[in-house]
Amino acid sequence: MDSTCGALTDAPVAPQATLALRVLATSDLHAHILPWDYHADRLSHTRGLSRVAGLIAQARAEVANTVLLDNGDFLHGSPLGDFAVQVARSGQAQPHPMICAMNRLGYDAATLGNHEFSHGLQVLRDSMAAARFPMVSANLWDQEQDCPFVPPFVVLQRQMLDGAGRSQMLRIGVIGFLPPQTVIWERAQLEGRITACAILDAARAAVPRLRALGVDVVIALSHSGIGAEGGDENVSAALAQIDGIDAVIAGHTHEVFPPPAGPRSLHGKPVVMPGFFGSH
Protein backbone atom coordinates (compact mmCIF):
# COMPACT_ATOMS: atom_id res chain seq x y z
CA MET A 1 0.00 0.00 0.00
CA ASP A 2 1.21 3.51 -0.77
CA SER A 3 2.59 5.08 2.40
CA THR A 4 0.44 8.17 1.99
CA CYS A 5 -2.70 6.10 1.58
CA GLY A 6 -1.71 3.98 4.54
CA ALA A 7 -1.32 7.05 6.72
CA LEU A 8 -4.76 8.28 5.72
CA THR A 9 -6.37 4.92 6.25
CA ASP A 10 -4.87 4.34 9.68
CA ALA A 11 -5.49 7.84 11.06
CA PRO A 12 -7.94 7.95 13.98
CA VAL A 13 -11.38 9.27 13.05
CA ALA A 14 -12.42 12.32 15.09
CA PRO A 15 -15.90 12.05 16.61
CA GLN A 16 -18.56 14.20 14.98
CA ALA A 17 -19.02 17.46 16.84
CA THR A 18 -22.48 18.41 18.13
CA LEU A 19 -23.52 21.57 19.90
CA ALA A 20 -26.63 23.17 21.34
CA LEU A 21 -27.80 26.37 19.67
CA ARG A 22 -30.39 28.63 21.29
CA VAL A 23 -32.23 30.91 18.85
CA LEU A 24 -33.74 34.01 20.47
CA ALA A 25 -36.28 36.01 18.49
CA THR A 26 -38.58 39.01 18.70
CA SER A 27 -41.34 39.98 16.28
CA ASP A 28 -43.76 42.85 15.77
CA LEU A 29 -42.09 45.15 18.30
CA HIS A 30 -43.64 48.15 16.52
CA ALA A 31 -41.23 50.67 18.07
CA HIS A 32 -42.12 49.68 21.62
CA ILE A 33 -38.84 50.20 23.44
CA LEU A 34 -40.20 51.25 26.82
CA PRO A 35 -42.67 49.25 28.96
CA TRP A 36 -45.45 51.71 28.23
CA ASP A 37 -49.03 51.27 27.00
CA TYR A 38 -49.46 54.29 24.74
CA HIS A 39 -53.21 53.75 24.32
CA ALA A 40 -53.87 53.66 28.07
CA ASP A 41 -51.01 56.11 28.83
CA ARG A 42 -49.63 54.02 31.66
CA LEU A 43 -46.84 51.65 32.61
CA SER A 44 -47.13 48.14 31.18
CA HIS A 45 -45.45 45.00 32.46
CA THR A 46 -46.25 43.03 29.30
CA ARG A 47 -44.51 45.02 26.57
CA GLY A 48 -41.33 46.85 25.64
CA LEU A 49 -37.94 45.85 24.30
CA SER A 50 -36.30 47.21 27.45
CA ARG A 51 -38.24 44.58 29.43
CA VAL A 52 -37.39 41.85 26.92
CA ALA A 53 -33.72 42.81 27.29
CA GLY A 54 -33.73 41.13 30.70
CA LEU A 55 -35.14 37.93 29.22
CA ILE A 56 -32.48 38.02 26.50
CA ALA A 57 -29.72 38.38 29.08
CA GLN A 58 -31.13 35.50 31.11
CA ALA A 59 -31.44 33.24 28.06
CA ARG A 60 -27.90 34.02 26.96
CA ALA A 61 -26.57 33.24 30.42
CA GLU A 62 -28.24 29.81 30.37
CA VAL A 63 -26.82 28.63 27.02
CA ALA A 64 -23.37 29.46 25.68
CA ASN A 65 -24.36 29.39 22.01
CA THR A 66 -27.07 31.88 21.07
CA VAL A 67 -28.17 34.09 18.21
CA LEU A 68 -30.66 36.95 18.48
CA LEU A 69 -32.96 37.65 15.53
CA ASP A 70 -35.90 39.94 14.75
CA ASN A 71 -38.80 38.95 12.54
CA GLY A 72 -39.92 42.37 11.28
CA ASP A 73 -42.27 45.25 12.04
CA PHE A 74 -39.80 46.79 14.46
CA LEU A 75 -39.53 50.40 13.21
CA HIS A 76 -43.08 51.75 13.22
CA GLY A 77 -46.37 51.38 15.05
CA SER A 78 -46.13 53.54 18.19
CA PRO A 79 -45.96 57.28 19.02
CA LEU A 80 -42.23 56.78 19.60
CA GLY A 81 -41.85 55.50 16.04
CA ASP A 82 -43.89 58.43 14.68
CA PHE A 83 -41.71 60.87 16.61
CA ALA A 84 -38.57 59.26 15.17
CA VAL A 85 -39.94 59.85 11.68
CA GLN A 86 -40.66 63.51 12.47
CA VAL A 87 -37.09 63.94 13.69
CA ALA A 88 -35.72 62.24 10.58
CA ARG A 89 -37.77 64.44 8.25
CA SER A 90 -36.76 67.60 10.09
CA GLY A 91 -33.22 67.16 8.84
CA GLN A 92 -31.75 66.19 12.20
CA ALA A 93 -29.40 63.29 11.55
CA GLN A 94 -30.13 60.88 14.39
CA PRO A 95 -30.35 57.08 14.22
CA HIS A 96 -33.79 55.58 14.74
CA PRO A 97 -34.14 54.75 18.47
CA MET A 98 -35.22 51.18 17.68
CA ILE A 99 -32.04 50.63 15.68
CA CYS A 100 -30.00 52.05 18.57
CA ALA A 101 -31.69 49.67 21.01
CA MET A 102 -31.24 46.66 18.73
CA ASN A 103 -27.58 47.53 18.18
CA ARG A 104 -27.12 47.76 21.94
CA LEU A 105 -28.68 44.33 22.48
CA GLY A 106 -26.46 42.78 19.82
CA TYR A 107 -28.99 41.50 17.31
CA ASP A 108 -27.40 39.14 14.80
CA ALA A 109 -29.87 39.66 11.92
CA ALA A 110 -33.41 40.80 11.12
CA THR A 111 -35.94 40.63 8.33
CA LEU A 112 -38.25 43.39 7.16
CA GLY A 113 -41.97 43.43 7.93
CA ASN A 114 -44.68 45.26 6.03
CA HIS A 115 -44.72 48.17 8.47
CA GLU A 116 -41.06 48.97 7.83
CA PHE A 117 -42.34 50.62 4.64
CA SER A 118 -45.10 52.70 6.25
CA HIS A 119 -43.15 55.97 6.12
CA GLY A 120 -41.42 55.53 2.80
CA LEU A 121 -38.20 54.12 1.43
CA GLN A 122 -35.93 56.99 2.44
CA VAL A 123 -36.84 56.70 6.12
CA LEU A 124 -36.30 52.95 5.91
CA ARG A 125 -32.96 53.23 4.13
CA ASP A 126 -31.72 55.85 6.58
CA SER A 127 -32.74 53.61 9.48
CA MET A 128 -31.06 50.54 8.01
CA ALA A 129 -27.85 52.48 7.42
CA ALA A 130 -27.35 52.81 11.19
CA ALA A 131 -27.87 49.10 11.90
CA ARG A 132 -24.89 47.04 13.00
CA PHE A 133 -26.64 43.84 11.94
CA PRO A 134 -27.74 42.59 8.50
CA MET A 135 -31.32 42.78 7.24
CA VAL A 136 -32.61 40.20 4.78
CA SER A 137 -35.67 39.52 2.63
CA ALA A 138 -35.82 36.93 -0.13
CA ASN A 139 -39.04 38.03 -1.81
CA LEU A 140 -38.50 41.78 -2.30
CA TRP A 141 -37.21 43.29 -5.55
CA ASP A 142 -36.00 46.86 -6.11
CA GLN A 143 -37.39 47.88 -9.50
CA GLU A 144 -35.41 51.12 -9.62
CA GLN A 145 -32.05 49.40 -9.09
CA ASP A 146 -33.09 46.08 -10.71
CA CYS A 147 -31.74 44.04 -7.80
CA PRO A 148 -32.92 42.64 -4.47
CA PHE A 149 -34.01 45.42 -2.11
CA VAL A 150 -31.89 43.83 0.63
CA PRO A 151 -29.90 40.58 0.48
CA PRO A 152 -32.18 37.52 0.43
CA PHE A 153 -30.13 35.80 3.14
CA VAL A 154 -27.00 36.08 5.23
CA VAL A 155 -24.53 33.51 6.53
CA LEU A 156 -23.55 34.14 10.15
CA GLN A 157 -20.20 32.56 11.02
CA ARG A 158 -19.93 32.09 14.76
CA GLN A 159 -17.34 30.36 16.93
CA MET A 160 -19.35 28.21 19.35
CA LEU A 161 -18.63 25.51 21.90
CA ASP A 162 -19.55 21.91 21.19
CA GLY A 163 -20.63 19.34 23.76
CA ALA A 164 -17.01 18.60 24.65
CA GLY A 165 -16.18 22.25 25.23
CA ARG A 166 -14.22 22.61 21.99
CA SER A 167 -14.57 25.69 19.78
CA GLN A 168 -16.30 25.02 16.47
CA MET A 169 -17.18 27.30 13.57
CA LEU A 170 -20.95 27.19 12.98
CA ARG A 171 -22.32 28.61 9.73
CA ILE A 172 -25.92 29.76 10.27
CA GLY A 173 -27.99 30.71 7.25
CA VAL A 174 -30.71 33.29 7.97
CA ILE A 175 -33.30 33.96 5.28
CA GLY A 176 -36.29 36.33 5.48
CA PHE A 177 -39.74 36.80 3.95
CA LEU A 178 -42.67 39.21 4.23
CA PRO A 179 -46.24 39.17 2.86
CA PRO A 180 -46.20 40.21 -0.82
CA GLN A 181 -49.41 42.13 -0.08
CA THR A 182 -47.06 44.74 1.40
CA VAL A 183 -46.75 46.38 -2.01
CA ILE A 184 -50.56 46.76 -2.05
CA TRP A 185 -50.92 47.98 1.52
CA GLU A 186 -48.11 50.50 0.98
CA ARG A 187 -48.92 51.30 -2.64
CA ALA A 188 -48.45 55.04 -2.14
CA GLN A 189 -44.86 54.43 -1.05
CA LEU A 190 -43.90 51.46 -3.21
CA GLU A 191 -45.78 51.48 -6.52
CA GLY A 192 -43.33 51.29 -9.39
CA ARG A 193 -40.41 50.99 -6.99
CA ILE A 194 -40.68 47.68 -5.11
CA THR A 195 -42.25 44.35 -6.07
CA ALA A 196 -42.73 41.22 -3.97
CA CYS A 197 -43.27 37.62 -4.98
CA ALA A 198 -45.00 34.78 -3.12
CA ILE A 199 -43.14 33.59 -0.02
CA LEU A 200 -43.10 29.89 -0.90
CA ASP A 201 -41.92 30.58 -4.46
CA ALA A 202 -39.09 32.73 -3.11
CA ALA A 203 -38.15 30.09 -0.55
CA ARG A 204 -38.02 27.27 -3.10
CA ALA A 205 -35.69 29.37 -5.24
CA ALA A 206 -33.44 30.82 -2.52
CA VAL A 207 -33.06 28.06 0.08
CA PRO A 208 -31.11 25.71 -2.25
CA ARG A 209 -28.75 28.60 -3.06
CA LEU A 210 -28.24 29.22 0.64
CA ARG A 211 -27.63 25.52 1.33
CA ALA A 212 -25.10 25.42 -1.51
CA LEU A 213 -22.94 27.85 0.48
CA GLY A 214 -22.25 25.06 2.97
CA VAL A 215 -24.27 26.30 5.93
CA ASP A 216 -24.87 24.01 8.90
CA VAL A 217 -28.38 25.23 9.71
CA VAL A 218 -31.01 27.45 8.04
CA ILE A 219 -33.38 29.65 10.04
CA ALA A 220 -36.32 31.23 8.21
CA LEU A 221 -37.56 34.60 9.46
CA SER A 222 -41.14 34.44 8.24
CA HIS A 223 -43.10 37.66 8.78
CA SER A 224 -46.26 35.63 8.32
CA GLY A 225 -48.68 33.78 10.57
CA ILE A 226 -49.38 30.10 11.12
CA GLY A 227 -53.12 29.82 10.38
CA ALA A 228 -54.50 27.60 7.64
CA GLU A 229 -56.06 30.49 5.70
CA GLY A 230 -54.93 33.86 4.48
CA GLY A 231 -52.39 32.99 1.77
CA ASP A 232 -49.03 34.63 2.34
CA GLU A 233 -50.26 36.20 5.58
CA ASN A 234 -50.35 32.72 7.14
CA VAL A 235 -47.72 30.69 5.35
CA SER A 236 -45.25 29.82 8.12
CA ALA A 237 -46.50 26.26 8.59
CA ALA A 238 -46.15 25.58 4.87
CA LEU A 239 -42.71 27.17 4.95
CA ALA A 240 -41.62 24.63 7.56
CA GLN A 241 -42.29 21.87 5.02
CA ILE A 242 -39.68 23.15 2.58
CA ASP A 243 -36.54 21.03 2.40
CA GLY A 244 -33.47 22.83 3.66
CA ILE A 245 -35.21 24.96 6.28
CA ASP A 246 -34.42 23.78 9.81
CA ALA A 247 -36.39 26.24 11.97
CA VAL A 248 -38.99 28.98 11.47
CA ILE A 249 -39.63 32.21 13.34
CA ALA A 250 -43.21 33.30 12.58
CA GLY A 251 -44.96 36.62 13.19
CA HIS A 252 -47.15 39.32 11.63
CA THR A 253 -50.41 38.08 13.18
CA HIS A 254 -49.44 39.07 16.77
CA GLU A 255 -50.00 35.60 18.18
CA VAL A 256 -47.95 33.23 20.33
CA PHE A 257 -46.68 29.81 19.30
CA PRO A 258 -46.29 27.26 20.73
CA PRO A 259 -49.42 27.39 22.89
CA PRO A 260 -49.18 26.45 26.59
CA ALA A 261 -50.49 23.00 25.77
CA GLY A 262 -49.95 21.75 22.25
CA PRO A 263 -47.34 20.93 19.61
CA ARG A 264 -43.95 22.62 19.88
CA SER A 265 -43.04 22.01 16.26
CA LEU A 266 -44.64 21.97 12.82
CA HIS A 267 -43.80 19.25 10.31
CA GLY A 268 -41.05 18.09 12.64
CA LYS A 269 -39.28 21.45 12.78
CA PRO A 270 -39.09 23.94 15.66
CA VAL A 271 -41.35 26.97 15.11
CA VAL A 272 -42.00 29.93 17.40
CA MET A 273 -44.05 33.13 17.21
CA PRO A 274 -43.10 35.62 19.98
CA GLY A 275 -46.24 37.74 20.32
CA PHE A 276 -46.08 41.49 19.75
CA PHE A 277 -44.84 44.79 21.28
CA GLY A 278 -42.20 42.81 23.19
CA SER A 279 -44.71 40.62 25.02
CA HIS A 280 -42.44 37.57 24.72
Q: What pTM was estimated for this model as a whole?
A: 0.92
Q: In this predicted model, what pLDDT tens digit does every residue of 156-185 receive, in sequence order?
A: 999 999 999 999 999 999 999 999 999 999
Q: Give the confidence band of 6 by pLDDT, cuts at 50, 70, 90.
A: very low
Give the pLDDT band of residue 222 (cuts 50, 70, 90). very high
Taking the C-alpha atoms of residue 219 and residue 200, their distance in angstroms, rounded to an integer, is 15
pLDDT-derived band at 264 (thresholds 50, 70, 90) equals confident
pLDDT tens digits, one per residue of 61-77? 999 999 999 999 999 99
Task: Report whether pLDDT(7) > 60.
Answer: no
pLDDT in the model for residue 109? 98
pLDDT-based confidence at residue 15 (cuts at 50, 70, 90): low
